[in-house]
Amino acid sequence: MARFPTIVSVGLPILGLAGAVAFALVYVGPQRLCESVDGKWASAQSSCVTRTCFQSGTCGTWAYPAARCSNLKIGDARSEVHFQLGEPDEVFQGGAKWHAGKDSPQMIVARFSAERLQSLSCPSKQ
């Protein structure tokens, strides 16, 4: 006679997994959990922005994107630039611009060739 899994034998591993996730959210905190999956924590929205944001158009607007310029290098994919700097304030043929910081007149200017970062002009921190 074949034995079928009981609710206990199937349910316990699922409860264990749910408990581990709940523990991670409460004990580790959502920001650390976000960073552990290589995301950026958006504290104003209390949400995790991941590298898939470029495809979904959800990279957000950041208070001081210039702080993340050092994370970029020539040759990076356009999606990485958007992940690091957020949604651009202006898009032009071959590039994009971001305000360096909230209420800043200074601009970050990125130029792309074949969807790769060709040049980056980023004002230094003041």
User: How high is the pLDDT of residue 26?
Assistant: 55
Taking only the tens place, the pLDDT of each residue in 42-70 is 988 889 999 999 999 999 999 999 999 99
Count Cα atoms within 13 angstroms, Cβ side, for 110. Answer: 32
Q: What is the dihedral of CA 42, 71, 110, 97, to 10 degrees?
A: 20
C-beta of residue 83 within 8 angstroms of C-beta of residue 119 = no
pLDDT by residue for the chain (126 residues), tens only, comes to 556 555 444 454 565 566 555 555 555 688 999 989 889 999 888 899 999 999 999 999 999 999 999 999 999 999 999 999 999 999 999 999 999 999 999 999 999 999 999 999 999 754
Instruction: Quote the tokens at residue 22.
Output: 């709940």
Instruction: Quote the tokens at residue 44.
Output: 């104003």
The whole-angstrom separation of Cα 49 and Cα 80 is 12
The whole-angstrom separation of Cα 97 and Cα 85 is 10
Q: What is the pTM of this model?
A: 0.74
DSSP 27: I
The whole-angstrom separation of Cα 47 and Cα 30 is 8
Please give the domain boundaries of the chain with CATH numbers for all domains.
14-50 (no CATH), 59-126 (3.30.1450.10)
C-beta of residue 93 within 8 angstroms of C-beta of residue 102 = no
